[in-house]
Structure 1
Amino acid sequence: MGDIEAPNSNRPRQNVLLSVLPSKEFASSRKGILLIAEVALSFVSFVCFAASTAAAFVTVPLLEFLAALFLLFAYSTKFNERFKGFLWPLMDFMRCVSASIIFFIISIISVSKYVDSSSKAAGIFGFIATIVFALDFYLIFNELATFLKQGGESNEEPSGHQDEFSNSDDSD
């Protein structure tokens, strides 16, 4: 008799790992490349800040690493399409804006105030992360602006939010 908890010898173990990693199509897309870069740069910046005398700034790269990792997982597994109640593009936009501003500030402070090499490296990686986050929020802003100019006729956004905007346009 078959035991339910016995491992299935027909199924390879690498499928579990492949189900967690982003798909090849998403990883090669523009959004996938930006999210992977954000995850990598936030992690490297986190490690550099943790090893430096500017360890007080370690929270920002850690939080941005976790947020970017969550969105990478959500977008690659199409988790965001199952939860239409959240405004995913707006949430992603606000994350990128706040990350670019905060990374820029802590990078300036770590490069100018601290003299150890790991603080300088964390600042340099923070500046690179600032550019990547700024590029991401610029692209998200352009997509949102195009969506709003079209009157919200795309299938990407929930239709409940479109009625609020179209009623206010009719009264003008």
Structure 2
Amino acid sequence: MEDTESAGTAPPPGLSSLLPPREFLRSRKGQLLLAESVLSFIIFICYIASLAASFMMAPLLEFLLALFLFFAYASKLNEKFKGVHWPLADFLRCVTAAIIYFAISIAAVSKYSDGASKAAGVFGFAATIVFAIDFYITFNDLVTFLKQGGSDSPEGHKTE
């Protein structure tokens, strides 16, 4: 009987263990990654329903990458795998996503006349802004990080 009482007070170790912590969701990085994932998914759905279905691969890949980084940062995977330079990978992902979303949004809005393509283009412009904000913030953090540890020694970024 004591086992059920102690198990009742602790959260079940099921799907709730996959949820990100609240402090990460309240952080700027968590909110940006969540916004990027949601916008990429909405754009993906819009492109599937539109005549511009040839553009659906870019939002799908960006959705999966943003979702992976969301859970990687939330589960502190970036602290476990020091061999990957996470801020640089995130910066490159954001830069390429902003450029790709800007280009396909212009093409979707100007070339196609259906409503879903126009909606995907508008959401694509919004995603471009979100990704641009993310790569600006990541770039500033990356420069600060490199000035602190990168100039002292070649292994400066590993001794935090």
1:50 alignment partner in structure 2? 48
Q: Identity over aligned residues, as a percent?
A: 60
Using structure 1 for the length normalisation, give the TM-score: 0.81
In structure 2, do the counterparts of structure 1 residues 15 and 49 end up closer, same or farther at CA, with 3 Å as the change threshold?
same
| CA shift for structure 1 position 79 | 1.1
1:88-167 paired onto structure 2 within 5 Å: 88-152=86-150, 163-164=153-154
2:30 alignment partner in structure 1? 32
Instruction: Point out where structure 2 has 5 or more consecutive residues left out of the alignment.
Output: 1-6
| CA shift for structure 1 position 15 | 3.7
**1:48 aligned partner, one-letter code:** C
Larger gyration radius, structure 1 or structure 2: 1
Moved segments of 4+, more than 4 Å = 9-14
| CA shift for structure 1 position 70 | 0.2
**1:75 aligned partner, one-letter code:** Y
2:64 alignment partner in structure 1? 66
**1:68 aligned partner, one-letter code:** A
For residues 88-108 of structure 1, give each alpha carbon's deviation from its aligned partner in whole angstroms, at most 9, with x where no partner exists: 000000000000000000000
Between Structure 1 and Structure 2, how many residues are aligned?
Answer: 150
Instruction: Point out where structure 1 has 5 or more consecutive residues left out of the alignment.
Output: 1-8, 154-161, 167-172
Distance in 2 separating the partners of 1:94 and 1:24: 27
CA RMSD of aligned residues (A): 2.0
| CA shift for structure 1 position 152 | 3.7
Distance in 2 separating the partners of 1:48 and 1:14: 37
Distance in 2 separating the partners of 1:48 and 1:13: 37
| CA shift for structure 1 position 147 | 1.5
Provide the secondary structure at the position in 1 that maps to 2:83: coil
Structure number with the higher helix fraction is 2
Distance in 1 separating the partners of 2:99 and 2:77: 27
In structure 2, do the counterparts of structure 1 residues 12 and 147 end up closer, same or farther at CA, with 3 Å as the change threshold?
closer
In structure 2, do the counterparts of structure 1 residues 38 and 14 end up closer, same or farther at CA, with 3 Å as the change threshold?
farther
Using structure 2 for the length normalisation, give the TM-score: 0.87
| CA shift for structure 1 position 19 | 1.4
Provide the secondary structure at the position in 2 that maps to 1:163: coil
**1:20 aligned partner, one-letter code:** L
2:81 alignment partner in structure 1? 83
